[in-house]
Structure 1
Amino acid sequence: MTLFATALSLLTSLVSALVASRRAVRVLHMWQMDSYLVGRYVSWMFRKPMERYVDLVSIGVAALCWAAPWPGGHFFWIGYNLWLLLRRETTQAKKPLDYTPRARRTLWTARVLLVLCAFVPAPAIPWALLLLHLAPWAVLLANLLLKPVHARINRGFVRAAAGKLARLDIPVIGVAGSYGKTSTKYFLDVFLAQKYRTLKSPGNYNTLLGITRVVNEMLTPEHQVFIAEMGAYKRGEVREIAELVRPRIGVITSIGPEHFERFLTMDNIEQTNYELIAALPPDGLAVFNGDNEHCRKLAASTRHTRVALCSVSNPRGDADIWAEDPVQSRQGLRFTIATRHGGRVAVSTPILGSHNVLNILAAARIALEMGVPLESIAAGAARLQPAPHRLEVKQGAGGTTIIDDSYNSNPIGAAEALEVLRQFTGGRRILITPGMIELGVLHEEKNEELGVHAARCADLVILVGPEQTRPVARGLRKAGFPEANLTIVKDLAEATAMFPRLLRPGDVLLFENDLPDLYAEK
């Protein structure tokens, strides 16, 4: 082979390696959104390989180039790849790739691997075509090669956080549960801030490394209380966080089938959340949702620490704190907090959703434990604001009202959000939703129930994602919802493009869930 032919073959492979390097960014983005879990990413990729992995256009172009006379086919392939490199993405990510140190290490290692592959002696066009499809595997291999490095770095971060917590020695409150963790954390922070300088884990920082980062970067000697939200996708993850922060008080807000696809059984969900309670000391306090059967089961088995139940109306008479005469309106919630020791105070809060009564009660019980009087709790309740994208009411354009419940969705929260929508009268009530995800074998059942419920609460429904929302549509039709009032669109951008011609002054829009790009339908 002449020097020119060798150089042309190498260039043919290199441009494909560069295109694959660009595609590696999207691959890494998808993987990052699923917490770098190898099995889930591979499963996602092969569920729809023709959309997410296999590039049919490039296969066709490669076939033409392979059949074309040399060197014309090589030059055409190089030109085609340069076009792939220079073209702009038409779809914008809802949440872009977070270029954390781990992401940068993984991305650049994958790119080096792809460039090295370009030097493999092989037929240029077929090998270049294969290179175009190697981005997912290069990223996975890069992660495998870097796994010892990541583990060593992460252990260092965790040790630093543990040392800092030991030095500061302040009370830590853990918040776990399937639903309501973030809202309860926000409410508790407001109640305690009237007496203490508090730090709560921000946003959805609820993993071991997320809490580690909060401790290392945000916790200072001025803080007197640390509130740590604890999330999990499998057994053992809450225990890891609890072992790090060593909580004195823990609350399980609610237990239900969220992430059922990952946990597979309700027992796994129960035991994972109970890992917080198991870590409490004998003089600690475990607060449970007394109206949730799974929480009551866990509370009944708790012997090593004190237990407190929260309840609406206290029908069993065993609650430490309960709500009397709860009323929900467009303006928020009103009820009376009553305690086992005879305390009573009227509460009025702008928070929407009757499920938030229990979240407020849980936060109030912990605040009482920390010495905050009932009167201060009532004053704090009047100032509560919803956690971002959790039943936030906003004024939209053209005299419309937006109920933003887009952070995520679960059967309990979605039902409550629909009841909030029902409260708004005077205009059309419009639901925009992609349905609920990660319910595993419960996906069809729970999404169909969502559709049945929506038929009673909404006047118009816009479903986002034809395949994902098929059971929701089935539930709507089952409940007799008018077909003319149901619209199914490909993505949220298509839904919002309808608004200028669809919306009228007085309309109320409920955005229930907003799926990440990982679940986008093409």
Structure 2
Amino acid sequence: MILDIVLSLVLAVPLSLSTFPHILQLQLCEYLLYRYRALVEDKGIAKALLFTKFRFPAKSIRNLMILGLTYLLTVSFFLLAFTYLESAVAICIALFLSYPVSKVFVLLGALITSPLSSLYRARYLFIANRQLKSSGVKIIAITGSYGKSSVKEYLHRILSAKYLTGKTRGNRNTEVGIAIEIGLQITRDMDYFIAEMGAYRRHDIEKLCKLYKPSIGIITGVGNQHVSLFGSRQELIKTKLELVDGVKHGSVYASLEWDGAVNAFSQYHKKIVTYGFGGEADVKVVFGEKAGRFKILHGAREEEYESKLLGMHSYLNLVPAIIVSRELGMSYHEVYEIVKAIEPITGKLSLHKVNKGMTVLNDSYNSNVDGFCSAIDVLDCLNSGKKYISTLGIFELGNEKYGSYKRIVKALEGKNILLLTTDADFFGESASTQVRIFKQESEILKFLNGINEEKVLLVEGRHSPAFMTELGISKAY
């Protein structure tokens, strides 16, 4: 019996340590099991659960508790096997099954620690509510499938020149994430707080609006990111539009540059200020003859700006930041000078000259179909060297993955660009000679390092820290 206990304690150690990447996956899915399920469905059970690249999760109390519970459950599994299985064959089968079973124990650990998460949530929501009641701060809420972070950063940069302004940092766009930022930042004399609002299920935005009561809303655009979590694109659109009803006494500014926008906004009686490149928008963006110059036409008002940003969607993300800043009392000259000075955000079409004769167009912060196609256009306009794209694919697209990849491959047509990817679905949608499939991310690096001439690489979407380090670029997330 003592030998069984010792063996169980020893064997459980490496198996528990092997669950680190799975704990990280849960952490990135914010411990939401429906998001984790979508990730497994997207990657496939074998790749998601059995053959995941080893990476360490964050050092948090919940992760340590999940690891500890996984260890105890794995020890119990071995003890039961050694106690009740008599034949050597049965014990060998149990040992073989212990690896996938330990991954299931990670999920059990997440469920068991859920009450702790609820207490954590209640504490931060209480602090945030107290801070909001004691200050006169106005909340500016931003939601959308893409562009949220960029608009947030641009708007914060402009407003901060005149007003005391806070913002949610990083990817803190859930109810707890926003609450933490409010608790840390809001003071009695703060004027505005910009809250990026994310959603993974219907009514998520509605819930956030009830908690934080925004005075101004911005909807950046609705694509097919996370569509597999909502069941359909229509449900995703309805969720993002919950912000329109969530802003009770103020304006909502919304992009028209996404499919179905005109019909979606027509059903609301509340005044929505729309912006875009098309004629139906209330605020129109017109590009000037010189690169980097554009005009904003808003009623009788016509204002010209210049910017260092790359890509049409980058300019589109500047527009709501400019409109809102002007509506909140900033002068044209104040806004113009700040917009002119704004540099590209690292990881959002930022250019980097690195070693080995390579220029990197870094769009690794996130990836969506519209942004991907816009980045291809920017890459095509660059004048130096051979051109390549590295992507690991776009996740949580559900049944819209086929059409999305087909659109991306079509955007490559007529351009001297080679797409390098580990997602075989790109090749499945097209027999294009402009797509090359690799088994691992490291093989993409090996291929690029073997090209001894000037080259430009678009890094589209998230890659591993090792990949970015090898390129000589710090990650953007």
For the criterion TM > 0.5, the same-fold answer is yes
Of 90, 100, 111, the match for 1:144: 111
- 1:230 is matched by which residue type in structure 2? M
Q: Deviations over 1:291-332 (max 9, x none)?
A: 44533334323334x4212122x513x51x322334685xxx
Who wins on radius of gyration, i.e. which is larger?
A: 1
- Confirm or deny: 8 A CA contact 1:328 1:353 kept in the other structure: no
Q: Does 1:380 align with 2:344?
A: no
2 CA distance for matches of 1:51 and 1:184? 35
Q: Name the SS of the counterpart of 1:346 in structure 2.
A: strand
2 CA distance for matches of 1:464 and 1:325? 36
1 CA distance for matches of 2:440 and 2:290? 33
Aligned residue for 1:310?
275
Q: Name the SS of the counterpart of 1:376 in structure 2.
A: helix
2 CA distance for matches of 1:503 and 1:182? 36
Aligned residue for 1:423?
381
- 2:127 is matched by which residue type in structure 1? A
- Confirm or deny: 8 A CA contact 1:328 1:334 kept in the other structure: yes
2 CA distance for matches of 1:132 and 1:13? 14
Of 439, 443, 450, the match for 1:494: 443
Q: Does 1:408 align with 2:372?
A: no
Q: Name the SS of the counterpart of 1:235 in structure 2.
A: coil
Aligned residue for 2:462?
514
- Confirm or deny: 8 A CA contact 1:20 1:133 kept in the other structure: no
Q: Does 1:15 align with 2:10?
A: yes
Q: CA deviation at 1:469?
A: 3.1
- 1:322 is matched by which residue type in structure 2? K
Aligned residue for 1:299?
265
Q: Deviations over 1:323-372 (max 9, x none)?
A: 2334685xxx31112221x3322211011111223221111111112111
Aligned residue for 1:469?
426
Unaligned runs of 5+ in 1: 1-5, 56-88, 518-522
**CA, structure 1 residues 432+268, in 2 after alignment: closer, same or farther (shift >3 Å)?**
same
- Confirm or deny: 8 A CA contact 1:429 1:457 kept in the other structure: no
- Confirm or deny: 8 A CA contact 2:427 2:437 kept in the other structure: no
Of 197, 204, 207, the match for 1:240: 207
- Confirm or deny: 8 A CA contact 1:454 1:476 kept in the other structure: no
- 2:20 is matched by which residue type in structure 1? V
2 CA distance for matches of 1:167 and 1:112? 46
1 CA distance for matches of 2:384 and 2:98? 59
- 2:242 is matched by which residue type in structure 1? E
Q: Name the SS of the counterpart of 1:457 in structure 2.
A: coil
Moved more, 110-119 or 450-459: 110-119
- Confirm or deny: 8 A CA contact 1:16 1:128 kept in the other structure: no
Q: CA deviation at 1:490?
A: 2.2
Identity between Structure 1 and Structure 2 (%): 23
- Confirm or deny: 8 A CA contact 1:238 1:272 kept in the other structure: yes
Q: Does 1:29 align with 2:24?
A: yes
Aligned residue for 1:343?
301
- 1:243 is matched by which residue type in structure 2? K
Of 323, 334, 337, the match for 1:365: 323
Q: CA deviation at 1:42?
A: 4.8
2 CA distance for matches of 1:293 and 1:451? 19
**CA, structure 1 residues 301+54, in 2 after alignment: closer, same or farther (shift >3 Å)?**
closer
2 CA distance for matches of 1:133 and 1:399? 44
2 CA distance for matches of 1:325 and 1:26? 46
- Confirm or deny: 8 A CA contact 1:463 1:489 kept in the other structure: yes
- Confirm or deny: 8 A CA contact 1:322 1:361 kept in the other structure: no
Q: How many residues align?
A: 457
Aligned residue for 1:115?
75
- 1:469 is matched by which residue type in structure 2? F
- 1:309 is matched by which residue type in structure 2? T
What's the Cα RMSD here? Answer: 2.6
Q: Name the SS of the counterpart of 2:217 in structure 1.
A: strand
Q: Name the SS of the counterpart of 1:134 in structure 2.
A: helix
Aligned residue for 1:103?
63
- 1:110 is matched by which residue type in structure 2? T
- Confirm or deny: 8 A CA contact 1:13 1:128 kept in the other structure: no
Q: CA deviation at 1:53?
A: 4.5
Q: Deviations over 1:95-120 (max 9, x none)?
A: x4112222222222332333344443
Of 175, 196, 204, the match for 1:229: 196
- Confirm or deny: 8 A CA contact 1:32 1:97 kept in the other structure: yes
Q: Deviations over 1:159-197 (max 9, x none)?
A: 211111121220110011112111111111122112112
- 2:255 is matched by which residue type in structure 1? N
Moved more, 154-163 or 46-55: 46-55
Q: CA deviation at 1:222?
A: 5.0
Q: CA deviation at 1:122?
A: 2.3
1 CA distance for matches of 2:47 and 2:285? 51
Q: CA deviation at 1:221?
A: 3.8
Q: Deviations over 1:239-259 (max 9, x none)?
A: 222222211000101112222
Q: Deviations over 1:104-151 (max 9, x none)?
A: 222223323333444433237355544444322222222222222321
**CA, structure 1 residues 264+386, in 2 after alignment: closer, same or farther (shift >3 Å)?**
farther
Of 280, 289, 293, the match for 1:334: 293
Q: CA deviation at 1:421?
A: 0.7
1 CA distance for matches of 2:95 and 2:358? 53
Q: CA deviation at 1:205?
A: 1.5
- Confirm or deny: 8 A CA contact 1:421 1:457 kept in the other structure: no
- Confirm or deny: 8 A CA contact 2:162 2:330 kept in the other structure: yes
- Confirm or deny: 8 A CA contact 1:451 1:475 kept in the other structure: no
**Normalised TM-score (structure 2):** 0.88
2 CA distance for matches of 1:310 and 1:130? 56
**CA, structure 1 residues 516+232, in 2 after alignment: closer, same or farther (shift >3 Å)?**
farther
Q: Does 1:183 align with 2:150?
A: yes
Moved more, 135-144 or 203-212: 135-144
Moved more, 451-460 or 259-268: 451-460
